Structure 1
Amino acid sequence: MIESLTDRARRVEVMQKAIFGLADTLSPAVDLSRIYVDGLDGLPRDGRFLLVGNHTISGWAEIVAIPYFVYRELGTRVRGLATRQLADTGGLFRDALEAAGAVVGDPETGADLMRQNETVLVFPGGGRDMLKFKGEEYALLWEGRSGFARLAIAHEYPIVPVGLVGGDDVYRSFVERGGTWERMTRSLGQRLHGVSGVGLPLVRGLGPTLIPRPQRMYLRFGSPIDTSRPTETDTARWELTIKERTQIALETILGDLQDVRAADPFRHLNPLAWSTARRPSGARTTMPSSGSRRCRRTPHPTG
Structure 2
Amino acid sequence: MAATVSAAGFSPVLRRDIFPAAVRPKHSVSASVTNRVVESAILSEQEQRHRGPTVWDKENFEKKNSIEKTRGNESQNGDLSLRDYLELSRELITRSDGGPPRWFSPLECGARWKDSPLLLFLPGIDGVGLGLTLHHERLGKIFDIWCLHIPVMDRTPFTDLVKLVESTVRSEYCRSQNRPIYLVGESLGGCLALAVAARSPDIDLVVVLANPATSFGKSQLQTLIPISAMLPQQFRAGLPYILSLMTGIPSRLVVATMEKRLPLEQTVGELSKGAVAFSSYLSVLAEVLTGETLLWKLNMLKSAAASANSRLHAVKAQTLILTSGQDQLLPSREEGERLRQMLPKCEIRTFNDSGHALFLEDGFDLVTILMGASFYRRGRNRDYVFDYLPPSPSQFRKIYKPHRWTEVATNPVMLSTLESGKVVRGLAGIPSEGPVLLVGYHMMLGLELVPLVSRFWIERNILLRGIAHPMMFTRLRDGLLPELSSYDTFKMMGAVPVTASNFFKLFSTKSHVLLYPGGMREALHRKGEEYKLFWPEQSEFVRMAARFGAKIIPFGVVGEDDIGQDYDDLKKIPYFKASIEELTDETVKLRSNAGGEVANQDVHLPIILPKLPGRFYFYFGKVIETEERKQELKSREKADELYSEVKNEVERCIAYLKVKRENDPYRTIFARLSYQATHGFDSEVPTFDI
Alignment correspondent of 2:621: 222
Q: Please say which of residues 3-12 and 131-140 is displaced more in the overlay.
A: 3-12
Shift of 1:176: 6.5
- Alignment pair present for 1:42 and 2:429: yes
- Alignment pair present for 1:240 and 2:631: no
Alignment correspondent of 2:505: 112
Shift of 1:191: 3.0
Give the residue type in structure 2 aligned to 1:279: T
Q: Is the 8 A contact 2:410 2:613 kept in 1?
A: no
Q: Deviations over 1:244-296 (max 9, x none)?
A: 111111100001111122222332312378549652657xxxxxxxxxxxxxx
Shift of 1:10: 2.6
Gaps of 5+ in 2: 1-179, 184-205, 209-319, 321-365, 373-390, 417-426, 476-482, 590-599, 677-684
Alignment of 1:83-102 (within 5 A): 83-88=469-474, 92-93=485-486, 95-102=488-495
Q: Please say which of residues 257-266 and 113-122 is displaced more in the overlay.
A: 257-266
Give the residue type in structure 2 aligned to 1:239: A
Give the residue type in structure 1 aligned to 2:450: V
SS at match of 2:444: coil
- Alignment pair present for 1:265 and 2:627: no
SS at match of 1:88: coil
Taking structure 1 as reference, are residues 168 and 182 closer, same or farther at Cα in structure 2, changes over 3 Å only? farther
SS at match of 2:669: coil
Give me the identity figure in percent.
23
SS at match of 1:213: coil
Taking structure 1 as reference, are residues 273 and 126 closer, same or farther at Cα in structure 2, changes over 3 Å only? same
Alignment of 1:60-139 (within 5 A): 61-88=447-474, 92-93=485-486, 95-139=488-532
Which of 643, 654, 674 is 1:254 aligned to?
A: 654
How well do the aligned residues superpose, as a CA RMSD in angstroms?
Answer: 3.6
2-side partners of 1:62 and 1:238: how far apart?
31
Shift of 1:220: 1.4
Shift of 1:215: 1.2
Taking structure 1 as reference, are residues 113 and 37 closer, same or farther at Cα in structure 2, changes over 3 Å only? same
Greater Cα radius of gyration, structure 1 or 2: 2
Return the structure number with greater relative CO, CA threshold 8 A, min gap 6: 1
SS at match of 1:38: strand
Taking structure 1 as reference, are residues 2 and 55 closer, same or farther at Cα in structure 2, changes over 3 Å only? same
Q: Is the 8 A contact 1:186 1:199 kept in 2?
A: no
2-side partners of 1:250 and 1:113: how far apart?
22
- Alignment pair present for 1:20 and 2:396: yes
Q: Please say which of residues 3-12 and 260-269 is displaced more in the overlay.
A: 3-12
Which of 441, 445, 457 is 1:54 aligned to?
A: 441
Shift of 1:238: 2.0
Q: Deviations over 1:46-94 (max 9, x none)?
A: 14301112111142x2221222222123212111111112331686545
SS at match of 2:466: strand
Q: Is the 8 A contact 2:441 2:555 kept in 1?
A: yes
Which of 154, 168, 172 is 2:547 aligned to?
A: 154
Alignment correspondent of 1:299: none
Q: Is the 8 A contact 2:410 2:616 kept in 1?
A: no
Q: Is the 8 A contact 2:556 2:650 kept in 1?
A: yes
Give the residue type in structure 2 aligned to 1:70: F
Q: Is the 8 A contact 2:412 2:617 kept in 1?
A: yes
2-side partners of 1:280 and 1:31: how far apart?
19
Give the TM-score normalised by the residue count of structure 2: 0.35
Q: Is the 8 A contact 1:163 1:253 kept in 2?
A: yes
Shift of 1:131: 1.7
Alignment correspondent of 2:63: none
The 4+ residue runs of structure 1 with deviation greater than 3 A are: 4-9, 11-15, 22-34, 89-96, 179-188, 193-204, 230-234, 271-278
2-side partners of 1:221 and 1:145: how far apart?
23
Q: Please say which of residues 271-280 and 236-245 is displaced more in the overlay.
A: 271-280
2-side partners of 1:232 and 1:57: how far apart?
36
SS at match of 2:520: helix
1-side partners of 2:489 and 2:399: how far apart?
14
2-side partners of 1:128 and 1:251: how far apart?
17
Give the residue type in structure 1 aligned to 2:643: K
Taking structure 1 as reference, are residues 84 and 232 closer, same or farther at Cα in structure 2, changes over 3 Å only? closer
Shift of 1:101: 1.1
2-side partners of 1:259 and 1:65: how far apart?
21
2-side partners of 1:29 and 1:133: how far apart?
23
Taking structure 1 as reference, are residues 250 and 99 closer, same or farther at Cα in structure 2, changes over 3 Å only? same
Shift of 1:212: 4.0
Taking structure 1 as reference, are residues 190 and 140 closer, same or farther at Cα in structure 2, changes over 3 Å only? farther
Q: Deviations over 1:175-206 (max 9, x none)?
A: 365x684697666424325573547586442x
Q: Is the 8 A contact 1:37 1:280 kept in 2?
A: no
Give the residue type in structure 2 aligned to 1:191: E
Alignment correspondent of 2:181: 2
Give the TM-score normalised by the residue count of structure 1: 0.75
Q: Deviations over 1:193-246 (max 9, x none)?
A: 5573547586442xxxxx243211111111111124264566101221221111
